[in-house]
Amino acid sequence: MLNSFDVNRHTVRVQHSDAVVAAGLMAALTSQADLEVVEDATIAVDLVVCDYDAGLELAQFYRQSRSLEKASRVLVVTGLGWEQSVRNALQSAVHGYLLTSASVDDLLAAVRMVLGGKSFVSSELAQRMADSMTREALTARETEVLAHLATGRGNKEVALYLGIATGTVKTHVNAIMAKLEVTSRTHAVSVAAQRGLVDLTHRTLH
């Protein structure tokens, strides 16, 4: 009979701020014979499955700490599907990025891949990021104009705010729509938000 920390098993801790998601993760992981779910936060584990914010904090802590003999690997499970969110996580040394909409099979595949020393990103996010690599990047000024469009400002307001001509704003808007392959300002903001080019979390209309 295997004990709680048999060498053939991996220890995992669930650390998710969403109680419903946490319960689902616990149920899926505890059903696996090769995984041991540890609830005690003081015990070192092989893998921490957590939400986005906790994932970035843990990854940074493990990367900077020199007192730990062995750092836990980190798998983020989140509803944030922005390209920039994924990039931030990977740049912060998070090992895996999975959407909450993923199936149990996808979760277990991600867990085992990360435990195996590899990185994991949900297939749809990986495809989205790959597709974006083939598109022409926005300039710094175009990104700035786009951010203002996301607040609901019109061309004249953007021009006044940035201290440039209205015609120049129109030129930037046309370039933005061409690069994002959209036909309207609203669609441009939607696509940009999806790709993480603008943040609509604190969107304010003026």
54: exposed, middle or buried (C-beta count within 10 Å: 0-12, 13-18, 19+)? middle
To the question of pTM greater than 0.85 for the whole model, the response is no
Is the confidence at residue 204, as pLDDT, over 50?
no
Topology annotation, domain 140-195: Arc Repressor Mutant, subunit A (1.10.10)
Residue 134: the pLDDT is: 64
User: Where are the domains positioned within the chain?
Assistant: 10-132, 140-195
Q: Give CA angle at 130 (63, 192), nearest 5°.
A: 90
Which one is predicted more confidently, 150 or 18? 18
pLDDT of 6: 52
CATH no. for 10-132: 3.40.50.2300
Identify the pLDDT of residue 69: 61
Q: Where does the pLDDT of residue 85 fall: very low under 50, low under 70, confident under 90, or very high at 90 and above?
A: confident
Q: CB neighbours of 165 closer than 8 A, spacing ≥ 6?
A: 159
What does the angle CA 72 – CA 78 – CA 83 come to, to the nearest 5 degrees? 100
Given a cut of 90, whether residue 32 has pLDDT beyond it is yes
